[in-house]
Chain A
Amino acid sequence: MSWFRITLHRSAIGLPERTRGVLAALGLRRRSQTVFHPVSQDFAGMIMKVKELVRVQEVDAPKTDAEVKAERQFAPGFWVEKRGKEVMARRGGGGRDMN
């Protein structure tokens, strides 16, 4: 089963109530928001109604909001090799509690 990955790209401000209702039914409340819906005739019809406002991809599995957000995050530029707390514990537990 495949899914539509739908992202609201253009705002519906000033567009007819019907159009905004379709966005609400798709669960799109703000720009750049992404939702996943199964590929079906119902959702295809809704996408056709707002095709000028959204970007659509077909994907194999839906993602959670956290996973969608993780796609947008940059690499932090550093990585933790060892935690200070563990190092101090190995030295004999004499040090201050570093977190």
Chain B
Amino acid sequence: MFGAFRFTNPLSGGLLWKIPWRLSKFQKARHRKRLRAVDDVVATVDAALAKNGETIATLERWKAEMPTEAEMLPKDKYTMFDRKAKRYRKGIHRLPKWTRVSQRLNPPGY
């Protein structure tokens, strides 16, 4: 009952994941900051190439498809599509390496 071998959830067998269900407001703020940092990099590269009258395919595709941080819905900022999750959404922090990958788009209608 007490002591080192008490029955707590992590000890009572099986695997208990401790990823919180949602992001804290501080995690969300830092996440928005990272999104804006990526937007900044893309804008800088675009402006620098535009001065020479150049562009590249990946840049054009990013600008055409990817919303900027300001354009994104909160739903897309903090959650992502998952076909196995209840109501088809899971927290974006469940994505491996989520602070260093761009995950902005989700299937239409979900």
Contact = CB atoms under 8 A, between A and B. Distances in A.
Bound pair (A, B): yes
B81 to A, nearest CB: 20
Interface stretch (B22-30, B55-63, B69-77, B87-95): B55-63
Contacts of B54: 40-41, 44
Interface residues of B, number: 24
Interface string A4-38: 10000110101100000000000000000000000
Q: Residue among B38, B45, B48, B52 with the most chain A CB within 10 A? A: B48
**Which 5 residue pairs spanning A and B have beta carbons closest together?**
A58-B48, A51-B41, A39-B48, A48-B58, A56-B44
8 contacts: A41-B55, A48-B58, A48-B59, A51-B42, A55-B37, A56-B40, A56-B44, A58-B48
